[in-house]
């Protein structure tokens, strides 16, 4: 005998958020693990050297594979370079986006922010809204009504989970959000975690991203080639 499980409401609505607070789940402290201050300080020690080295390796490989795509465009030999470029562009940058967003990759703050901004563009995330969304994610991890970054919901949509490995849904939702932001509109769930003084910055960031995408499309049309769209986006 099987029982159908109705889809759960995961929206960041006032109702769901209030239920999270009423149940003591939002901003909870009970699950935090106590760590000695000296141990924590040692764990959080930062250094620019390793991060600069690793970032330069990543960028050099990205440029080299991108150059291979350009040089071999029109040949079947381009496929390995497209694969390598795509992984470095859309996957390897995600770890950089995450750690630099937390300010933990480099010791120097502006270096973290520079790589975070660049990586945000590569993974099609508004650097402002996602910074606040991710802060909420770590404050109320997997709390319905509070966490906007719950990866797998119940009942799980296995097709969606598989397709997310290649970013199919990510691209769709990200572009939709960016286009709304360009028009000065933040979605309801974004308004729930982005402070009012930061909302104008979110709109400005989205406009920069979309201008670059628009220029890429124009370049593809002028050149009569898909190459610009393979390299950007």
Q: Residue 3: how many CA atoms within 13 Å on its side-chain side?
A: 2
Query: Residue 33 pLDDT > 80, yes or no?
Result: no
Of 44, 10, 32, 58, the residue nearest 156 (C-alpha)? 10
Interval 108-151: pLDDT, tens:
999 999 999 999 999 999 999 999 999 999 888 888 888 888 88
Residue 207 is encoded by which pair of tokens?
């406009």
Higher pLDDT, residue 87 or 2:
87
The pLDDT assigned to 15 comes to 86
Query: Residue 155 pLDDT > 70, yes or no?
Result: yes
The pLDDT assigned to 59 comes to 97
N- to C-terminal Cα separation, the chain: 47
The percent of residues in the chain predicted with pLDDT above 70, rounded, is 97
The pLDDT assigned to 106 comes to 95
Higher pLDDT, residue 164 or 63:
63
- Compute the distance between CA of residue 194 and CA of residue 167 in angstroms, rounded to an integer: 24
**Cis amide prior to 155 (ω within 30 degrees):** yes
The pLDDT assigned to 212 comes to 97
| Count of Cβ atoms closer than 10 Å to residue 89 Cβ | 19
């Amino acid at each position: 005998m099987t029982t159908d499980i109705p889809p759960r409401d995961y929206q960041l609505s006032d109702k769901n958020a209030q239920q999270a607070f009423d149940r003591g789940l939002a901003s909870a402290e009970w699950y935090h693990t106590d760590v000695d201050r000296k141990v924590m300080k040692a764990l959080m020690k930062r250094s620019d050297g390793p991060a600069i080295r690793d970032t330069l390796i990543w960028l050099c490989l990205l440029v080299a594979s991108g150059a291979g795509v350009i040089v071999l465009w029109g040949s079947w030999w381009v496929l390995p370079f497209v694969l390598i470029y795509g992984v470095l562009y859309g996957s390897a940058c995600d770890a950089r986006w995450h750690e630099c967003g937390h300010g933990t990759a480099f010791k120097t703050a502006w270096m973290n922010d520079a790589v975070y901004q660049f990586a945000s563009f590569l993974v099609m995330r508004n650097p402002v809204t996602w910074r606040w969304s991710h802060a909420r994610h770590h404050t109320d991890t997997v709390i319905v009504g509070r966490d906007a970054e719950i990866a797998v919901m119940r009942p799980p949509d296995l097709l969606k989970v598989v397709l997310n490995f290649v970013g199919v849904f990510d691209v769709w939702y990200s572009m939709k959000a960016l286009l709304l932001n360009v028009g000065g509109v933040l979605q309801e769930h974004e308004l729930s975690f982005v402070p009012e003084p930061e909302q104008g910055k979110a709109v400005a960031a989205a406009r920069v991203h979309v201008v670059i995408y628009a220029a890429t499309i124009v370049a593809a049309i002028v050149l009569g080639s898909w190459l610009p769209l393979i390299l950007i986006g």
